[in-house]
A and B are shown apart, each in its own frame.
Chain A
Amino acid sequence: MGGANNKNCELVGTTMIPYRISYWHIQPAWIFYLLAAVAVGIFIFGLITHVSVWIKGIKRQAIHLSWSGTSNLLLDGLLGLRIFRGDIAAGTIHLLILWGFSGLFVGTVLISVDYWLHHFLKGSVYLWYSTCLEIVGLMLLVGLVWSLIRRYLQHVPRLERRLEDLTVVVLLFVVVLSGFMVEGLRLAAQRPDWALWSFAGHWMSLLWTNHHQGALSIYPYVWWAHALLSLGLIAFIPYSKLFHMLAAPASIYLENQPLQAIPVETRGQDDEVFSYRDMIFFDACTRCGRCVEACPSTGAGEPFAPRDFIVWTRNDLLMKYHPLNHFDWFTNWIKRRHTREHVFDTQKIWYCTTCRACLDVCPVYVATPDTIRQARGKVVEEGIQVPSLLTQTLKNLYKYNNPWEATKKKRAKRSQDLEIPDLSKGEEAKGLCYFVGCTTSMDIRAQELARSFARILKHAQIPFAILGNKEPCCGDIARRAGEDGLFEKQMEDSVELLGRYGIRDVVTSSPHCFHTFRNEYPAFQALKPAEERLELRVRHYTMLLRELVTAGSLRLERPLNVKVTYHDPCYLGRHNRIFDAPREIIAAIPGVEMVEMAHNRANSLCCGGGGGRIWQEDLDADVNMAEIRIREAEAAGAEIIITACPLCLIMLEDARKTSSLEYAVRVMDLNELVATALSPPVLGGENHECCGMRKTGS
């Protein structure tokens, strides 16, 4: 025993100071360094592979030092807070693995410092160090075992079971386990007095209680096995989903850095459609499947899933820009390897409604809606694979400046029906411009939205006017469809027109126009000289109504005695975070009982109309998304489902009829509800007896 003890303690005076001898019984150590160099080389080559893809991306932003980025990095990266949302087990597992792994990494760094630079791991420092490593190692083991149980025994539906998913966890597991074995064997052979400080290793050493010579003889083999596995793990990182440990922090940090607009005409013929940030996003994806759970298209049984899109695009980019793809043997090998995974066909990108549900739940902020839009841009540019109904819609947008094939004459007639002061007929702009929008102007059902809103504004004595037959399309549909040339044309036309009429204050019917004005235009306006920029105050009508209700200029005094639920439109809620305004307006109406559906606010389910889908009915699966939503409203016990978007209104109204819930649930725009609640009511007359209000009072 004494002999062994002599090898791992120093005699300082008469006290024995505990520490660990590096490369104890391991000869020759240089082989380890050689192998380590090889592993690091493989790691660096993998890193170069990823970076060589990233640098091919277009540069849409400069990287700034930002506090929000840094705080996101701490909260979403180091603490993984987003992973806890809706799945505490996943959050805990990730935290155990992340901190277990990082702890062991730091431990390894410290021992290297101790060996090469300054011998400080001795005495009580060493003992505490040893105990800490025991704890993080056990955390890692627990996290790994738990993750295996979730994936392979509990069969959590969103988790895939590919070979890589197993390899990564098992490799990590055997690395840690072999580490504990090495420690156990060493402790069994050395039997130091302080073995209990290394409690896990000590338990392990009990396996060899009476065989310490045997322990000593197998120790070097297990040591080498542990070393090889650890080096293998390092080399494996950039070639597996473990790479997210580098890409995810980058993705999280970059998430809220401002993006520059790149006008189509400045784009080169062969420019990549994705920015380097998008490429980092793709690399950050671990295929956790939260997006698949959240995606309304996947939920309706359509052949699309955001995760598939990401994996497919990532593989595609890697093949395209890999440093080795100048060699035929390599490209052939990659092609053979990817054929099975490479089943995502371009046609599927048209299923996405750009509802942003996937981005909202993604722990690493993979901006799928935005990248889908860019992928569509490429397909539109090539032209051959654009679905025929979408081709028709885009052509109409170009020809008629609206998707409804409405000639100017028709549009003029429709706006006449609305009985609103019309700027195109020489009436003066008195401040507020009500941007009715193509769908609200042209669809008979959606027109009720505009009529009610106009009546409310008149009731509140707010002067306003519309653009009548001059009103252009804001460009939302073209933008979502990836037809950026058309979008920019429509944007320029709109900016020019609004400027010509001196309009500075706009309120929209549609969250889509609102979003486009508010979030898409400014980046392009920023490219212009200051005097040519359009400074626009844009509000969605719900914002204006709330202001009027709060200020007391709109009194909702007529009790309605009805049970309603509210459907959050994606472009109002998730895209612009307006969840409270519509609910506050509903709450201000006496007698209205508000119930929430199973999916609400940021978790709301898309009606299936966004992203150009309303014009592509041929994509619908057997059950359409709006039918799922109507059923939720019925399940919540609501008599009326209220929404604040013309597309949602149309989609839900149709779904009500196709899902045989025509008499169970009614669909109304918030404006219609508010107009009914005014005293005296400013009802639209003929159609309003069907609004389902129970008569009150008399």
Chain B
Amino acid sequence: MNVVVCVKQVPEVTDAELEINKEGIGILKEDLEFDINEWDNYAVEEAVRIKEAHGGKVIVITLGDEDSEDVLRVALAMGADEAIRIDEEAFELSDAAGIAQGLYHVIRDLSFDLLLTGAQSSDYGWGQVGPILAELLGLPYASLVVGIEIDEGKMIVHRELESNTQEKVEIPLPAVLTIQTGINNPRYVSIMGIQKVRKIEIKETDSGELGLSEEEIGLMGSCVASQELSLPAVGEGAKILTGSLNEICEKTAQIIRDKAGVI
């Protein structure tokens, strides 16, 4: 049972103070830390668990710059067997379809039973690479997967729906699934674990080698073009109190007295 997983390196933005870059369509990345996209982490863990239970191998693929090798190393340390990086240079400003094109040109030559991607990425969050890949590969597809039971030539897949409901569907293999967080508890990857896989060679390729032309990828190949990225405006009704701790406390108490009528 061979499983291919598409992963992506994303900036950690939860607690960071983001700033927009001067082009106005991206963020400043100097002060940010990078990590594997959370959904993809669950997908890799799920792939490794499937391998541990059913044998076969796990291949991870990313489309990114040299630094994104880090996420491939993490995946290898988790138990993936092979890793491929597609250089992102020609893919700049690609929409989800362009990214999927790049991945598709690598994946179509691989022999696999299951293709996993994260349900979405934490940075742009289109959630489209998985479905487009399924379309390009002509494979059945299920999204937001929170459980997989593998049987002979098919699998039962649990999908997460609204209000805690789950749908159970049967899908023949091979197939494409996009993985939702919470499907498992991804293992911790120790520094030692990453050291151990340092010697595994990461295969590298690029758009030229894959025979992709400028019309298919990048800004030219995209039907969606980013116009502007902005931080939300400070809303009405929010008030930031300034002053010493005591002054802030006084002011807060005054507001509570005035607005809520608490004595």
Q: Is A259 an interface residue (CB 8 A)?
A: no
Contact of A381 with B187 at beta-carbon distance under 8 Å, contacts A407-B16, A687-B245 already known: no
Q: Find out whether the CB atom of B188 lies under 8 angstroms from the CB atom of A380.
A: yes
Q: What is the CA–CA distance of A488 and B190 in the complex, to the nearest angstrom?
A: 12
Q: What is the CA–CA distance of A483 and B195 in the complex, to the nearest angstrom?
A: 13
Q: Is A400 an interface residue (CB 8 A)?
A: yes
Q: Interface residues of A: mostly helix, strand, loop or mixed?
A: helix
Contact of A400 with B190 at beta-carbon distance under 8 Å, contacts A686-B245, A686-B246, A687-B245 already known: no
Q: Is B192 an interface residue (CB 8 A)?
A: yes
**Shortest beta-carbon distance, A482 to chain B, in Å?**
9
Q: Find out whether the CB atom of B245 lies under 8 angstroms from the CB atom of A381.
A: no
Q: Which A361-380 residues sit within 8 Å CB-CB of chain B?
A: 380
Q: Which B4-50 residues sit within 8 Å CB-CB of chain A?
A: 12, 14-17, 31-33, 35
Binary interface encoding of chain A residues 383-400 relative to chain B, with 1 for a CB under 8 A from any of its CBs, else 0: 110101011001100111
Instruction: Categorize the interface residue count of chain A.
Output: 20 to 34
Name the CB-closest residue of A to B245: A686
Name the CB-closest residue of A to B33: A399
Q: What is the CA–CA distance of A395 and B186 in the complex, to the nearest angstrom?
A: 12
- On chain A, the residues within 8 Å of B245 by CB distance are 686-687
Q: What is the CA–CA distance of A383 and B187 in the complex, to the nearest angstrom?
A: 5
Q: Which B151-185 residues sit within 8 Å CB-CB of chain A?
A: 185
- On chain A, the residues within 8 Å of B17 by CB distance are 409-410
Contact of A486 with B187 at beta-carbon distance under 8 Å, contacts A405-B15, A687-B245 already known: no
Contact of A381 with B190 at beta-carbon distance under 8 Å, contacts A399-B12, A405-B15, A409-B17 already known: yes
Q: Find out whether the CB atom of A483 lies under 8 angstroms from the CB atom of B190.
A: yes
- On chain B, the residues within 8 Å of A386 by CB distance are 187-188
**Shortest beta-carbon distance, A183 to chain B, in Å?**
63
Q: What is the CA–CA distance of A390 and B245 in the complex, to the nearest angstrom?
A: 33
Q: Is B119 an interface residue (CB 8 A)?
A: no
Q: Is B253 an interface residue (CB 8 A)?
A: no
**Shortest beta-carbon distance, A445 to chain B, in Å?**
12
Name the CB-closest residue of B to A686: B244
**Shortest beta-carbon distance, B21 to chain A, in Å?**
16
**Shortest beta-carbon distance, A322 to chain B, in Å?**
28
- On chain A, the residues within 8 Å of B15 by CB distance are 405
Q: What is the CA–CA distance of A350 and B37 in the complex, to the nearest angstrom?
A: 27
Name the CB-closest residue of B to A382: B187
Q: Find out whether the CB atom of A383 lies under 8 angstroms from the CB atom of B32.
A: no
Q: Find out whether the CB atom of A483 lies under 8 angstroms from the CB atom of B191.
A: yes
**Shortest beta-carbon distance, A413 to chain B, in Å?**
10
**Shortest beta-carbon distance, A488 to chain B, in Å?**
8
Name the CB-closest residue of A to B78: A383
- On chain B, the residues within 8 Å of A388 by CB distance are 185
**Shortest beta-carbon distance, A386 to chain B, in Å?**
4
Q: Is A485 an interface residue (CB 8 A)?
A: yes
Q: Find out whether the CB atom of A394 lies under 8 angstroms from the CB atom of B31.
A: no
Q: Please tell me which one of the listed residues B16, B190, B246 contacts residue A486 in the complex, with CB atoms under 8 A apart.
A: B190
Q: Is B224 an interface residue (CB 8 A)?
A: no
Q: Is A264 an interface residue (CB 8 A)?
A: yes
Q: Is A408 an interface residue (CB 8 A)?
A: yes
Name the CB-closest residue of A to B247: A686
Q: Is A484 an interface residue (CB 8 A)?
A: yes
Q: Please tell me which one of the listed residues B188, B192, B246 contacts residue A264 in the complex, with CB atoms under 8 A apart.
A: B192
Q: Is A193 an interface residue (CB 8 A)?
A: no
Q: Find out whether the CB atom of A383 lies under 8 angstroms from the CB atom of B31.
A: no
Binary interface encoding of chain A residues 659-681 relative to chain B, with 1 for a CB under 8 A from any of its CBs, else 0: 00000000000000000000000
Q: Is B221 an interface residue (CB 8 A)?
A: no
Q: What is the CA–CA distance of A398 and B194 in the complex, to the nearest angstrom?
A: 12
Q: Is B189 an interface residue (CB 8 A)?
A: yes
Q: What is the CA–CA distance of A400 and B186 in the complex, to the nearest angstrom?
A: 20
Q: What is the CA–CA distance of A383 and B194 in the complex, to the nearest angstrom?
A: 12
Q: Is B193 an interface residue (CB 8 A)?
A: yes
Q: What is the CA–CA distance of A384 and B193 in the complex, to the nearest angstrom?
A: 12
Binary interface encoding of chain A residues 321-346 relative to chain B, with 1 for a CB under 8 A from any of its CBs, else 0: 00000000000000000000000000
Q: Is A265 an interface residue (CB 8 A)?
A: yes
Binary interface encoding of chain B residues 215-230 relative to chain A, with 1 for a CB under 8 A from any of its CBs, else 0: 0000000000000000
Contact of A400 with B33 at beta-carbon distance under 8 Å, contacts A686-B245, A686-B246, A687-B245 already known: yes
**Shortest beta-carbon distance, A265 to chain B, in Å?**
6
Q: Is A577 an interface residue (CB 8 A)?
A: no
Q: Which B193-244 residues sit within 8 Å CB-CB of chain A?
A: 193-195, 244
Q: Interface residues of B: mostly helix, strand, loop or mixed?
A: loop
Name the CB-closest residue of A to B19: A409
Q: Find out whether the CB atom of A409 lies under 8 angstroms from the CB atom of B193.
A: no
Contact of A395 with B195 at beta-carbon distance under 8 Å, contacts A383-B78, A405-B15, A686-B244 already known: no
**Shortest beta-carbon distance, A378 to chain B, in Å?**
11
Q: What is the CA–CA distance of A265 and B192 in the complex, to the nearest angstrom?
A: 7
Name the CB-closest residue of A to B12: A399
Q: Find out whether the CB atom of A407 lies under 8 angstroms from the CB atom of B187.
A: no
Q: Find out whether the CB atom of B189 lies under 8 angstroms from the CB atom of A383.
A: yes
- On chain B, the residues within 8 Å of A686 by CB distance are 244-246
Name the CB-closest residue of A to B79: A383
- On chain B, the residues within 8 Å of A408 by CB distance are 31
Q: Find out whether the CB atom of B33 lies under 8 angstroms from the CB atom of A380.
A: no
Name the CB-closest residue of A to B246: A686
Name the CB-closest residue of B to A407: B31
Q: Please tell me which one of the listed residues B185, B187, B190, B246 contacts residue A485 in the complex, with CB atoms under 8 A apart.
A: B190
Name the CB-closest residue of B to A406: B15
- On chain A, the residues within 8 Å of B187 by CB distance are 382-384, 386
Q: What is the CA–CA distance of A409 and B195 in the complex, to the nearest angstrom?
A: 29
**Shortest beta-carbon distance, B194 to chain A, in Å?**
8
**Shortest beta-carbon distance, B106 to chain A, in Å?**
28
Q: Find out whether the CB atom of B192 lies under 8 angstroms from the CB atom of A383.
A: no
**Shortest beta-carbon distance, B123 to chain A, in Å?**
16
Q: Find out whether the CB atom of B195 lies under 8 angstroms from the CB atom of A265.
A: yes
Q: Find out whether the CB atom of B188 lies under 8 angstroms from the CB atom of A394.
A: yes
Name the CB-closest residue of B to A384: B187
- On chain A, the residues within 8 Å of B191 by CB distance are 264, 398, 483, 485-486, 488-489
Q: What is the CA–CA distance of A687 and B246 in the complex, to the nearest angstrom?
A: 8
Binary interface encoding of chain B residues 112-124 relative to chain A, with 1 for a CB under 8 A from any of its CBs, else 0: 0000000000000
Q: Which B54-96 residues sit within 8 Å CB-CB of chain A?
A: 78
Name the CB-closest residue of B to A413: B17
**Shortest beta-carbon distance, B75 to chain A, in Å?**
13
Q: What is the CA–CA distance of A382 and B35 in the complex, to the nearest angstrom?
A: 20
Name the CB-closest residue of B to A409: B31
**Shortest beta-carbon distance, A92 to chain B, in Å?**
49
Q: Please tell me which one of the listed residues B33, B35, B188, B189 contacts residue A407 in the complex, with CB atoms under 8 A apart.
A: B33
Q: Which A610-662 residues sit within 8 Å CB-CB of chain B?
A: none
**Shortest beta-carbon distance, B195 to chain A, in Å?**
6
**Shortest beta-carbon distance, B70 to chain A, in Å?**
10
- On chain B, the residues within 8 Å of A394 by CB distance are 188
Binary interface encoding of chain A residues 508-520 relative to chain B, with 1 for a CB under 8 A from any of its CBs, else 0: 0000000000000
Binary interface encoding of chain A residues 300-324 relative to chain B, with 1 for a CB under 8 A from any of its CBs, else 0: 0000000000000000000000000
* Chain A interface (Cβ < 8 Å from any Cβ of B): 264-265, 380-384, 386, 388, 390-391, 394-395, 398-400, 405, 407-410, 483-486, 488-489, 685-687
Known A398-B191, A407-B32, A408-B31; further 10 A-B contacts with Cβ < 8 A: A265-B195, A383-B78, A386-B188, A391-B188, A394-B188, A399-B12, A399-B33, A407-B33, A483-B190, A485-B192
Of the A-B pairs whose beta carbons lie under 8 Å apart in the complex, a sample of 16, sorted by A's number, is A383-B188, A395-B35, A395-B188, A399-B12, A399-B35, A407-B31, A408-B31, A409-B17, A483-B190, A484-B192, A485-B190, A485-B192, A485-B195, A486-B190, A686-B245, A686-B246
